[in-house]
Amino acid sequence: MGGAESGMAGHPGNGILSGADGIARRRLPNDTSQGRKCDCGFERTRALTTLADRTIAIVGLGLLGGSLAAALKRGVSGGSRVVAWARRAASLAEASERGWIDFGSTDPARVLPEADLTVLCIPPVPTIEFVTRNAVLWRTGSLVTDVGSVKAEIVRGVRPVLAARSVAFVGSHPMAGSERTGIAHADPELFAGATVFLTPTPEDAPETVTTVADFWQALGARPFRIEPDRHDALTARTSHVLHLLAAGLVRALLDPQPPASLAAAGAFRDMTRVASSSPDMWTQIARQNGRNIIEAFDRTEREIAALKAMVRDERWEDLKSYLENAGERRREWDRRRIHLTNATE
């Protein structure tokens, strides 16, 4: 990925400029970082060479885009420039004020031609629409990835459009996030220790996939390659259906008036936290991954039916065994998760 500096000269040396044209600029000194060993056997400092002297564009400055900008400018930038596009000039101004971007605009034509690597941090449906509308703006030979929770539709919708412009695309999905939205909740440590699924196709050049993997590893994440369709089937069970079930539990069980509301304590809070997530984003995810989500619902309904039958038929030993098995499976998952997290420290 060649470094492009066109349009970068002449930015203010200090301070912030913002206006009705949606442009926000700030020049900052380069950052340095300490190496951290990742469980995949590479040094984090080696992965930083992916970022050195590059221009990284972030499309969207919500929770994920803002967290990405913050992480890049908080010790892992490797001397890279960080530029951003956002719909709202206020988001660009906030990112500049916090020192997270060097340049930003609401006009994609002011941002995308600068990019060596672009990270699309907008919801799934707008991701495809944005790329289709702005594909001509990326430089030949540049590289694009994303953070979308659904991969098959994005890969099918984005990759051919960019390939026609000789721009590479490798899908990404960091398993990190929050029920909160917006740049106000951005966290520079959001990706540290997180699994990031990469969904390359057989046609993607190995060095391109490696570049994207190194990018995420420089942020402290653990890249893991998986086929797009397999990814969507997996995350439907481990993420997508859980968000929808959380909303269902709130509607089925929560009475917001006391005394019922006073009885909704730790268990209710833990099981329904993600019900506060963005309705728009989760509607889009369901739209793009509906078949896999239905299958996950079917699996869940079978388990609920089994539990209901045990209670109805007073099969208490069966219920105890069921709960013991579920508890052990949950503890094993936690042990593995902690082991992987510790391996990145």
My answer on whether omega of the bond before 228 falls inside 30° of 0, hence cis, is no
CA distance 166 to 160: 10
Neighbours of 104 (CB within 10 A): 31
pLDDT greater at residue 33 or residue 200: 200
Neighbours of 226 (CB within 10 A): 17
pLDDT score at 49: 62
Residue closest to 187 by CA, chosen among 276, 71, 86: 71
Nearest-5° angle of CA 75, CA 181, CA 293?
110
Helix axes 279-288, 124-134, angle to 10 degrees: 80
Q: What is the mean pLDDT of residues 237-258?
A: 91
User: Residue 282: which pLDDT band, with cuts at 50, 70 and 90?
Assistant: very high
Domains of the chain listed by start with CATH number: 17-226 (3.40.50.720), 230-313 (1.10.3660.10)
Phi first, then psi, for residue 102 (nearest 5°) are: -95, -25
Q: What is the pLDDT of residues 200-220, one digit of tens each?
A: 999 999 999 999 999 999 999
